[in-house]
Every structure is written in C-alpha cells, then in structure tokens.
Structure 1
Amino acid sequence: MIESGPIGVFDSGYGGLTVLKEIKRLLPQYDYLYLGDNARAPYGPRSFETVYQYTLQAVRWFFKQGCSLVILACNTASAKALRTIQQNDLPLLAPERRVLGVIRPTTEHIGELTKSGKVGILGTNGTVKSQSYQIEINKFYPQIEVYQEACPMWVPLIENNEYENEGADFFIKKNLKNVMEQGGAIDTILLACTHYPIIKNRIEKFLPAEVHVISQGNIVAESLTDYLTRHPDIEEKCRKNGSTLFYTTDTTYDFDVNGSKFYGQFIQSKHANLEE
C-alpha cells in the first residue's frame, strides 16, 4: 500500500503556477507539491529527447516525495514527454501511480468554445512542432480547423518582466497577425503555454472583440476535479491537509520574486536537486 501524499504539479519554470492557482481554487483541500525546473528552462526550443529526459527525471523526483498523481502543467512537457512516460516508463516505474498533462483536457473542451469551427493555437516552438493540439483536437472534433503559431519571444519577455512595453507589443501583434491571417474566421484563441495568461489582457487588446482568448488553468482544474471523482483509487492516495510546497531547481530568491506574479500571491520555495 502506498501512503497518501501530495499532488505533484510540474512545469519547466513559472507558468505552471497559473494552473496550480486554479486547481487550488477548485480543490483547496488537497496537499500540493510544485516543482519548477528553472535551471533548465525554457523547454520550448529543446529536442523531444531532452524534454523527455528532463520530464522523466522530474516525475521520478515527485514519486520519491510520495506523489501518486503528477500533473505536467507544461504544454511542452505534455507534448514531448507525457505519452512516452505513460506508455513506456510508468508500467515499469510505478504502475499504481498516474501522470497527467494539460493538452488532452483542453482539447476535449475546445469544441464547446468555438462557433466558427476555426481555432488558433499559440504556443512554444516545441508545442507547435509536436502537432499535439492538431492531433488531439482532430480526435474529438474532426470538423474543427486548427491554425498554429509559435511565439518564441513571449516566454523570455514574460520571465524578464518586459511584457508591458511597446517592444513586447511588437511581438504580440506580429504573432497574432500571423495566426489570424491563416484562418480569417478564427473565433477562439487558445493560449497553449501556461506563461501566456500573464499577458492575456495585452493579447485581447490586439484582437477583435468577438475573438475569445482561452487560458488553460480553469479547464485543467475542472478536468482534475472530474478525474478524481472517477478514480477513487487515486483520490484516496492524495493527502488532504490543504498545504502547498514550492520547489525550484534554480535560485529560490528569483523563483519567489518572479513566481509570485504567476501565482497571484507571495510564495517561498526550496531548492530541489533532481539528480540525487
């Protein structure tokens, strides 16, 4: 028997904190353990193999901390590593534990959000190149047309606090123009990177009023609520003291300062060494 432990939430850096915030809003009773692999971020430009190895290393770390359920609150890790971990590694490492991502729950709901049947996806290079959203949306809603745009400058601008100026607006407008010109009747834009909710207001400023901009946090939180209801065997292994601990593979001071704006309140982290 596995003792109960926290729910693990993983991201390459800070972005997953926007997801954790929404999960805690809906499910405050559980214990949570957040890990940001800031020392090796960003994951977006890295190869599939590198992202897979980094993500697997993080999953092993979570398991050592007693987590029976780990959420990859990172689109790049979900796109490049989740399926391999679920199918190849989990049966050998810990068949009684679960690792979930953010892409599937988002794509399951996308059809309910668009009226025109045309959806724009904004993400990192890694997420866009993986075609994960295209593949998953086609499974659930084959009639929906998907248009993708990689936004490689957005994460660095956000993490360096340079997203509220004209320089940032140049890149935001450029990427929005590119995706909207691909499909003129796009009525739903999905922010397929957990960093992007930080600039949601600026994105909306450069889009027609009828275009809805969707972030993933609340969708993932609602999906997790449903998952725990449907899987009582996993739910009973999730400890319920209402506590949250934060870890980073990089400098804790930087993580606390920058992470607080993603999480919406002050956080205090500890350092994690994934190679131990």
Structure 2
Amino acid sequence: MSSAPIGIFDSGYGGLTVMKDIVNELPQYDYLYLGDNARSPYGTRSFETIYHYTLECVKYLFSQNSHLVILACNTASAKALRSIQQKDLPNIDPERRVLGVIRPTAEIIGIHSKTGHVGILGTSGTVNSESYVMEIKQQFPELTVHQEACPMWVPLVENQEYDSDGADYFVKQHIDSILSKSNKIDTLLLACTHYPLLMDKIRQFVGDEITILSQGEIVAKSLANYLKRHPEIEQKCSQNGTRRFLTTDSTDDFNAHANVFWNKEINSEFIDL
C-alpha cells in the first residue's frame, strides 16, 4: 500500500513524547517523525530563524507525501505555525494542513482551573512569544495566565539528568518562582515536550493540590477529533501502522537519546536538509 504518513516535527527528541501519545490514541496510521537535531535547540533562536527552519522541515515532510504535519515543538508552534498556515500553505498546497500543540491545550486548560489562575512552564522562546497567553485569552478571557521560562530543564532531560539529585535545584527554583507569582495558581501546564520526563520532580515540589497538565494526551485526543471532523484530510492519511524516524544529525546519538522519550528501541535515518 502507498504511504502517506502523518508527519510529526520537532526540533529534537521531545516531540517523541507527543508522538507516543498520538500513536497510542491512533495506532492505525502511518507516522513519519523528523527531529532537526543538527540545529536544536530552537528555544533561544529568533522568530525568523525558527520560521525558516520549521518551514524547511515541513516542506521535507510534504515531499515524503505527508498531507498532515503536526508541529510537536512548542517553540515552532509559537513562532512559525501561523506564518506557515497563512502565508506558505496557500502557495505550497492549500489541500495540506499543518497543526500545532498550543491551541489544543489552550482550548481545555480553563476546564481544569477553579481559581481562574493558571501557570505556563516553557522555554524562553515559548514564554517570550506570549503565544499561550494570547491563545488562552481567546478561549478563556476570564483566566489569569502566569508564565515561567525554565531554560535549564531541556538540558537536564537531554543529558539524562532528569531523575538525578542535581535536577532538584533547577526544578524547585522555577516551581517556587511561578508559584510566588500568585497563591491562586491551581493548574500548571508543561509547555515543552521535554518536561514530562521531569514530572516526578515537579510533583515533588508542587504538591497534590495543583493539577499538572502534559500536552501529549491532550494533543492526541485533539488530533483524533480533528480527523473525525475533517474526513477529507483523514482519507489522505495512510493506515499501515508504520513508524519512521528521521534526524538531521547523528543517528546513533538520536537512537540513544530517543529511547528515553519513546521507551522503545528506535532505528532512525539521517537526512541532510
């Protein structure tokens, strides 16, 4: 059967946490994951650079017959998605779709908060873009959104220090900081695909009274709903149950790190953009 996989893009490994939940929710489809590891991290780069890199990767996934691409990277969703949707897709192919991870989360976060105060934990790029603040305000204008950039959390995860005693300092530092912004915060969103690996540490310093939301399951359910509402897109996604993994950097390095996020052995393929 011909392959028309759902494309999943991330700047590195973190998007695998989203892909894992998507595959659990929708195992029948083919998936093609692309990690731009050679140019990560994206979180500290300019809007223009992130847009250029993301568009290049989206075009590559399109060239592999993906009709639907998910930007599993929060930074790319924050800084590139809207431009790609509005400016590029009409010229590339108006029948294709690119979706992000911010809107699905913004659409449900208010349901979890009783106090009307929510916190966003993300990279500097995501926080500085204000994308979550704007999206949440559109969905739940009554919510007060507090943000905290956690620049050390991604390196902790990628260096497999997320469960070490040394991680305690950096996790506690940012949890204390965001909770000091309001004693009414009752919901925290992990707005980076790496952060679920720090969940145990985060819970340790947050306590049981605060709800912690991870994006993977939210995005997976949103995608399932999207495909039901858009049969014209769903019919273009092949269903052979295959998974392929591409990286712009060392496959050995990707395979070794990806196991942490995917919890299964991965054999990736190198591509040169």
Query: Is contact 2:3–2:30 with CA below 8 Å preserved after alignment?
Result: no
Give 3-state SS (helix, strand or coil) of 2:180's partner.
Answer: helix
Residues 1:9 and 2:24 are matched in the alignment:
no
Hey, what's the Cα distance between the residues in 1 that align with 2:121 and 2:9? 20
What count of residue pairs does the alignment treat as equivalent? Answer: 272
Query: Is contact 1:4–1:237 with CA below 8 Å preserved after alignment?
Result: no
1:182-201 correspondence to structure 2 within 5 Å: 182-201=181-200
**Which residue in 1 is equivalent to 2:65?**
66
Q: Alpha-carbon deviation of 1:167? A: 2.3
Find runs of 4+ consecutive structure 1 residues off by over 6 angstroms. Answer: none
Q: What do you get for the CA RMSD once the two structures are aligned? A: 0.9
Give 3-state SS (helix, strand or coil) of 1:14's partner.
Answer: coil
1:35-114 correspondence to structure 2 within 5 Å: 35-114=34-113
Query: Structure 1: where are the runs of 5+ without partners?
Result: none
Deviations 1:145-174 (A, max 9, x none): 100000000001110112222321111100
Hey, what's the Cα distance between the residues in 2 that align with 1:151 and 1:22? 24
**Which residue in 1 is equivalent to 2:227?**
228
Query: Structure 2: where are the runs of 5+ without partners?
Result: none
**Which residue in 1 is equivalent to 2:206?**
207
Residues 1:145 and 2:149 are matched in the alignment:
no
Give 3-state SS (helix, strand or coil) of 2:166's partner.
Answer: helix
1:208 is matched by which residue type in structure 2?
A: G
Hey, what's the Cα distance between the residues in 1 that align with 2:268 and 2:19? 15
Identity %: 60
Deviations 1:222-273 (A, max 9, x none): 0000000000010000000000000010100111111011012111100011
**Which residue in 2 is equivalent to 1:219?**
218
Q: Alpha-carbon deviation of 1:103? A: 0.1
Hey, what's the Cα distance between the residues in 2 that align with 1:142 and 1:50? 31
Q: When the two structures are superposed, what TM-score results if normalisation uses the length of structure 1?
A: 0.97
Hey, what's the Cα distance between the residues in 2 that align with 1:183 and 1:78? 27
